[in-house]
Amino acid sequence: MSTIAATAKAPDWGADPRHPLLDDLRSACMGLTPAQWARLVAACAGHAAVTTAGRRATAVVTSVGSATAKAKRYVRLGVRAAAAEDLASAKSMVKALPARLSATFEQFRALDRAKQVDEVAQLLVTWLAFFAAGGGPDLEGGLPDLDMAIAGMGAHRHVFSHSILLGLGVETSLRFSLAMVDALVDRMPEDRDPVWAKITETSRRYTDRSAAGIWAGIGAHLVNDAGLLGMGATKPVVGLPMHLSMAGHKLFLAANGAAALVAAKPSQEPRYMGVIKL
């Protein structure tokens, strides 16, 4: 015991607590002037806002286009004939589902190991974001209900936290944070820690799927708050500029929930803003 005690190295409490990753980040930050900081923040904020708006607008336009085409078909064929076609199509899809699932599984098996891991990772990221944003299996809590933690019970069901404004704010903040990290990594020393390359690669790869999961989680939470899923009671929305009946509050929540679900469609093309010139 005495030999071990004599040879054991005692912790050096006076050692520099800095971490290599923090050193890299500190080096990138200290190399910027206040004017360059202002341009960097503005560029990242603009990139985040434009990308968020573009992604959600594309999802909404695609869904609206599909709904418009379906409405025109109903007008052209008549409600009864078009509904009969849709019912027949739905039955065919259900009947073909086992074969389609089998084909999808075989396609997955044919992928190389790296592709398989990436597909599983993307699915997990989307579902984790969905449950975290929506509030878990019972759709209670999550991002919308943070209004209680921030402003108290009187602010529960606030118009900002229980509308598509929440999705826009969260996605823009997420993209802004990741854009800032991306921009700072470009200004780190050449011998920076290799993990930074993994961080930027992962953020570029999975940000859109994370955002889609967040939007879907918020949408499902709002639909549940509207009472459409029968999993909870409906409370009036706080902060609206006009008075609504309870039916109006339910309609507001349902409409915003549906809009969030429509906006949840992930983009297929990652968008990188490139190196910012300061």
Distance CA 174, CA 17 (A): 29
pLDDT of 205: 86
Per-residue pLDDT tens over the stretch 22-42:
888 888 888 888 999 999 999
Per-residue pLDDT tens over the stretch 80-91:
887 888 788 887
Q: What is the pTM of this model?
A: 0.79
Contact by Cβ (8 Å): 145, 161? yes
Per-residue pLDDT tens over the stretch 183-198:
899 888 888 888 998 8
Distance CA 142, CA 215 (A): 12
Closest by CA to 52, choosing from 183, 168, 214, 217, is 168
Contact by Cβ (8 Å): 254, 228? yes
Task: Give me the torsion for CA of 156, 158, 164, 165, rounded to 10°.
Answer: -130
Q: Give me the mean pLDDT over the 145-162 stretch.
A: 86
Of residues 217 and 151, which shows the higher confidence score? 217
- Is the pLDDT at 214 greater than 90, yes or no? yes
- Is the pLDDT at 68 greater than 90, yes or no? no
- Is the pLDDT at 249 greater than 90, yes or no? no
Confidence of residue 55 (pLDDT cuts 50, 70, 90): confident
Percent of the chain with pLDDT over 90: 21
Backbone φ and ψ for 67, nearest 5 degrees, come out as: -65, -40
Length of the chain: 278
Tell me if residue 188 falls in helix, strand or coil: coil
pLDDT of 230: 67
Per-residue pLDDT tens over the stretch 93-117:
778 878 887 888 788 888 888 888 8
Confidence of residue 45 (pLDDT cuts 50, 70, 90): very high
Per-residue pLDDT tens over the stretch 131-153:
999 998 888 889 998 888 888 88
Q: Which residue has the tokens 């953020």?
A: 203
Contact by Cβ (8 Å): 178, 196? no
- Is the pLDDT at 182 greater than 80, yes or no? yes
Confidence of residue 170 (pLDDT cuts 50, 70, 90): very high
Contact by Cβ (8 Å): 219, 258? yes
What single letter denotes the amino acid at residue 75?
A: V
* Number of CB atoms found within 10 A of residue 258's CB: 17
DSSP for 85-130, written as a single string: HHHHHHHHHHHHHHHHHHHHHHHHHHS-HHHHHHHHHHHHHHHHHH
Highest mean pLDDT of the ranges 148-162, 173-187, 220-234 = 173-187
Element (H or E) spanning 69, and its range? helix 34-77
Distance CA 155, CA 145 (A): 10
- Is the pLDDT at 6 greater than 50, yes or no? no
Tell me if residue 26 falls in helix, strand or coil: helix
